[in-house]
Amino acid sequence: MSQKGAIQSMAVKTALAARALLTIGCLCLLWMATGIAVAQTPVQTASVASARMMPEPARIGAARLGDHGDKTRFVLELTREAPFTILPDASGVAVEMEAALDAALPPAKGLVKSVSVRPGAKAGHLRLILATTGPARVQLAEIIPPRDGMPPRFVMDLAAGKAGPGAVLTPASASMMSPPVPKEKPKPPLPMIVIDPGHGGQDPGAVAVSGAYEKDITLAMAKEVRRQLLATGRYRVALTRDKDVFIPLRDRPALARAKGADLFISLHADSITGRQVRGLSIYTLSEKASDREAEMLAQRENQSDAIVGMDLSVQSADIANILIGMSQRDTMNQSRRFASLVLKNLDPNVAVLPGPLRSAGFAVLTAPDVPAILVEMGYLSHSQDAKLLGSETHRRRMAGSLLRAVDSYFGVGR
């Protein structure tokens, strides 16, 4: 090959090599760019997915206050459970919560004279301020999970009085609190027995063949029962009336509930025309009357005190009806048990009717959470029963019978 040909051949090879290198370089750059894009794609996708997985903030769909006498309850219905903190405030108590408010704030009730809202300390938080009528302490603050068809709820109970150390608990601070100093447990209160002397005032009740009024006979018997119960030191006792006054029938069980009665005993003396019927009988509330009372209670607007210890105002009508019915059934069972104990402990000198344990729809027996009996002590239309019911000796026997039954009911003895 000539020198010129060799030079041309070398130039061609050099050009081909350069082109090959250029092609390889372009491919490398393309691969690197593609690799970077592929590497970036999962990061971008994860970022979008994280944003999509972020839960919606909790929203407050309803807010209400309930006055329960010894406490005021603040309830918030939530779309989901949300963190919260209870804080002291110059006007009362504050609730800091990670939520948005969609509901109207409730009007004043109980210990709370106003509820206001302002932005919380962090983004997405709000602060609800409960201005109180005086010093108040937080008894309870918790989130109730969804149940019985109800959404999650924030519940806080306020009671009158200054908050001592550790009285206000929050989810964040509860674990950091020092354990409380053990205190001697207070003794439980003595059982409260409410005695109801039937009739009174312008309502004399039955009139005995001797001319005595039922209202006077029942009052004298009630006072003797009270005397014997108090003499044991085991009970507290109250009368629905201790003098000749008229009290409507529905007010009598209401008085018993207001006093926290554990037992309710209504005393009466029957009368019948043209028949020589005599003897004692004991009544409890009938099943039919119980169903009617449960339905009436469930339909009332303010159900917060329908059953002691239960706030039914936060329940649906169906659930409230079921709970009242269950409470009523348990109360009726306890009433029947006590009625049987009265009969079992009755003085043998006290005559009884055939089938003395009976049931009826007496209005005084309709408290849903207080076991109650109505004792027809005898018939004022029968001369012997009328004479006995006016006798101090018979009153002592009858009161002693009731005392023994009460002792048996509470499992105590002399």
CATH of the domain at 83: 2.60.40.3500
Cβ atoms 155, 73 nearer than 8 A: yes
One domain, residues 88 and 210: no
* Dist. CA 138–CA 121, nearest whole Å: 21
Written as one string, the DSSP assignment of 366-401 is --TTS-EEEEEEEETTSHHHHHHHT-HHHHHHHHHH
pLDDT, greater one: 27 or 61: 61
Burial class (CB in 10 A: 0-12, 13-18, 19+), 109: middle
**Among 107, 142, 171, where does a domain finish?**
171
Contact call for residues 278 and 379 (beta carbons, < 8 A):
yes
Phi, psi angle pair for 160, to nearest 5° = -70, 145
Mean pLDDT, residues 42-61:
58
Residues 76/127, Cβ–Cβ less than 8 Å? no
Which residues contact residue 177 at a Cβ distance below 8 angstroms, ignoring those fewer than 6 apart? 166, 169
CATH number at residue 349: 3.40.630.40
**DSSP bridge partners of 146:** none
Kindly indicate the confidence band of residue 229, based on its pLDDT and cuts at 50, 70 and 90.
very high
Segment 266-286 mean pLDDT = 87
Each residue's pLDDT tens digit, 99-158: 999 989 999 999 999 999 999 888 889 999 999 998 888 999 999 999 878 899 999 999
Domain annotation covers residue 124: yes
pTM above 0.75, yes or no: no
User: What is the arrangement of strands in the sheet containing 136-144, beginning at the earlier edge strand?
Assistant: 99-101, 58-67, 72-78, 153-160, 136-144
Print burial letters for 138-164: b (CB count within 10 Å at least 16), e (below 16). bbebebeeeeeeebbbbbbbbbeeebe
Quote the pLDDT of residue 187.
Answer: 76
Give the residue from 151, 174, 170 showing the smallest Cα distance to 75: 151
Are both 101 and 222 inside the same structural domain? no
Does some domain include residue 313? Answer: yes
Q: Do 84 and 161 belong together in one domain?
A: yes
Same domain for 336 and 196: yes
**Residue 109 located in a structural domain:** yes
| Residue 361, CA distances (Å) to 75, 158, 214, 287, 365 in order | 37, 38, 20, 9, 8
Is 2 within a domain?
no
pLDDT exceeds cutoff 70 at 359: yes
Q: Give the CA dihedral 243, 245, 251, 255, nearest 10 degrees.
A: -20
Q: Which residue, 367, 397, 7, is CA-closest to 192? A: 367
8 A C-beta contact, residue 76 and residue 153: yes
Q: Are residues 205 and 128 in the same domain?
A: no
Structural domain including 351 reads: 192-410
The pLDDT of residue 12 is 42
